[in-house]
């Protein structure tokens, strides 16, 4: 009896017709596609995108060249050279570079930073057009920080109570 039932089931394509019914029903359901450039998925304040170096409101850069980020970076993507600044002799970086091809966006640099200088922003849709552009220099990082300071500060504020 069971074999007869099994035979009829497969011979009359019962399972296949059930499958067709599922796809038919799905055709009329709401579509879940996000139309990317116009629509964006929501982001967390902890989003780890393109890096930035922050500055204080008076324009002084935060980074004190402690090299903790360079030490903690698991991909060795950060290169720092430090020395006294000509103007006031304080210890600053003379070179701060991030290789975006090496970076794995783990966020350790951000966590290790004692002065909240190196941060990861919400920017994720950037591109390079020439060789060598994947190296973010200190000026580029500071520029990203200046342009996005408002968002960066708001995100740190939102996350502060969990730190």
Partner 1 sequence: MTESEFMFSDLMVWAETAFWILLKIVAILIPLILAVAYTTYAERKIIGYMQLRLGPNRVGPKGWLQPIADTVKLIMKEIVVPRGASKTLFVMAPILFIGPSFAAWAVVPFDAGVVLADVNAGLLYILAMTSIGVYGVIIAGWASNSKYAFLGAMRSAAQIVSYELAMGFALVGVLMCSQSMNLGEIVLSQSGGIFQWFWIPLFPLLVVYWISGVAETNRAPFDMAEGESEIVAGFHVEYGGMAFSLFFLAEYANMILISFLTALLFFGGWLSPFEGYGMLDEMTAWIPGTIWLLIKASIFLFGLLWIRATFPRFRYDQIMRLGWKVFIPVTLVWLPVVAIWIKSNVWPFN
Q: Say whether residue 29 binds partner 1 (CB under 8 A).
A: yes
Annotated binding-site residue? 66: yes
Q: CB under 8 A: which stretch of 28-36, 41-49, 90-98, 148-156 binds partner 1?
A: 28-36
DSSP 115: T
Q: Does residue number 87 form part of the binding site for partner 1 (CB under 8 A)?
A: no
Range 150-156 contact pairs with CB under 8 angstroms and sequence separation of 24 or more: 151/121, 151/122, 152/52, 152/54, 152/119, 152/121, 154/45, 155/45, 155/46, 155/47, 155/122, 156/116, 156/119
What 3-state class would DSSP assign to 9?
helix
CB of 7 to partner 1, least distance (A): 11
User: Contacting partner 1 (CB under 8 A), which of 26, 41, 58, 130?
Assistant: 26
Binding mask 30-69 vs partner 1 (x if CB under 8 A, - otherwise)?
xxxx-x----------------------------------
Query: Among 59, 62, 58, 50, which residue's Cα sits nearest to residue 151?
Result: 50
Per the annotation, does 21 bind a ligand? no
Q: Kindly indicate which of the ranges 22-30, 74-82, 93-101, 105-113 contains the residues binding partner 1, using the contact rule CB under 8 A.
A: 22-30
- Pairing status of strand 78-84 against strand 91-99: antiparallel
Write down the residue that tokens 């950060």 correspond to: 78
User: According to the binding rule CB under 8 A, does residue 158 interact with partner 1?
Assistant: no
The span from the CA of 142 to the CA of 48, in Å, is 17
Options 6, 7, 9, 20; binder of partner 1; rule CB under 8 A: 20
Interface contacts to partner 1, rule CB under 8 A: 11, 13, 16, 19-20, 22-24, 26-27, 29-33, 35
């Amino acid at each position: 009896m069971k074999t007869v039932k099994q035979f009829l089931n497969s011979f009359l394509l019962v399972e296949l017709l059930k499958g067709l019914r599922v796809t038919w029903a799905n055709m009329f359901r709401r579509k879940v596609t996000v139309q990317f450039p116009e629509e964006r998925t929501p982001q967390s304040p902890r989003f780890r995108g393109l890096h930035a170096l922050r500055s204080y409101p008076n324009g002084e850069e935060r980074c004190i060249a402690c090299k903790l980020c360079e030490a903690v970076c698991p991909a060795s993507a950060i290169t720092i050279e430090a020395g006294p600044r000509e103007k006031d002799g304080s210890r600053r970086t003379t070179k701060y570079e991030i290789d975006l091809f090496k970076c794995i966006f783990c966020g350790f640099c951000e966590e290790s930073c004692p002065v909240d200088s190196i941060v990861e922003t919400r920017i994720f849709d950037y591109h390079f057009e020439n060789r060598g552009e994947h190296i973010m220099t200190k000026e580029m990082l500071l520029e990203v920080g200046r342009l996005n300071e408002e968002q960066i500060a708001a995100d740190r504020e939102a996350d502060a109570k969990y730190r």
